[in-house]
Chain A
Amino acid sequence: AQSVTQLDSQVPVFEEAPVELRCNYSSSVSVYLFWYVQYPNQGLQLLLKYLSGSTLVKGINGFEAEFNKSQTSFHLRKPSVHISDTAEYFCAVSVLSGGYNKLIFGAGTRLAVHP
């Protein structure tokens, strides 16, 4: 069965420092990969996605992620974070299951940016 593991439940970081949020997935077939951001009491907003092609994917708000097939990872990075990046981040994988594309989510990583 496919699964997504976000290795850190919480990541504290100072403003303007770099950050990496880690995501590993288990799947024996080709997958599509996503990172979503959720601000308190709001829905999820897509940050970036990997469907095919270049393994380095750039998203909104200065985030990027690198797809590593051999390590089954899709880590999210930002070179310099802002206070406004404080939120919960979810990694997700889309797999074909029962005739439809199913999104499987990780448990989330809470990013806390401190001044």
Chain B
Amino acid sequence: DGGITQSPKYLFRKEGQNVTLSCEQNLNHDAMYWYRQDPGQGLRLIYYSQIVNDFQKGDIAEGYSVSREKKESFPLTVTSAQKNPTAFYLCASKMDNEQFFGPGTRLTVL
């Protein structure tokens, strides 16, 4: 089945640690996105990538980093510089005008 997978589903991190969230797609889409979701705020764009080896900052990129070495993969690293990382993180890919979302990773900082 074609789709987007995110792992892990739940992630716990101690303060001061970097952590990497995985996002993989087999839809053959060029564009991929990372969003952060907080209660009552909708989704906010962290980073996006329109093609392999290229990515751009979104609206809230501070404290995050990404890479796009393969078309299928767009991992997100939450660094210790992100002051409030506890949130639900969603990855998406895009074909034409529609974005397709993964199931999400819930990150909790202890």
Contacts and interface: CB of A to CB of B under 8 A. Distances in A.
A95 B88 CA distance: 24
Interface in A80-104: 90, 94, 98, 100-103
A9 B50 CA distance: 33
Interface stretch (A14-22, A42-50, A61-69, A71-79): A42-50
B97 A32 contact: yes
Interface string B93-105: 0100111111110
A51 interface: yes
Contact of A42 (B4, B56, B104): B104
Given A107-B40, A108-B40, A45 B101 contact: yes
Interface size, B (range): 20 to 34
Contact of A101 (B42, B44, B97, B101): B97
Contact of A90 (B6, B31, B43): B43
B90 A43 contact: yes
B97 A51 contact: yes
A65 B98 CA distance: 17
Interface string B27-56: 000010100000011111100101000001
Interface in B47-83: 48, 50, 56
Nearest to A110: B40
Contacts of B40: 9, 107-108
B101 A94 contact: no
Contacts of A45: 101
Given A90-B42, A90-B43, A103 B104 contact: no
Nearest to A91: B42
Given A46-B100, A105-B42, 4 more contacts: A32-B97, A103-B45, A105-B43, A108-B42
Interface of A: 4, 9, 32, 34, 36, 41-46, 49, 51, 90, 94, 98, 100-103, 105-108
22 contacts: A36-B101, A41-B104, A41-B106, A42-B103, A43-B6, A43-B104, A44-B90, A46-B99, A49-B97, A90-B42, A90-B43, A98-B56, A100-B50, A102-B45, A103-B43, A103-B45, A105-B43, A105-B44, A107-B41, A107-B42, A108-B40, A108-B42
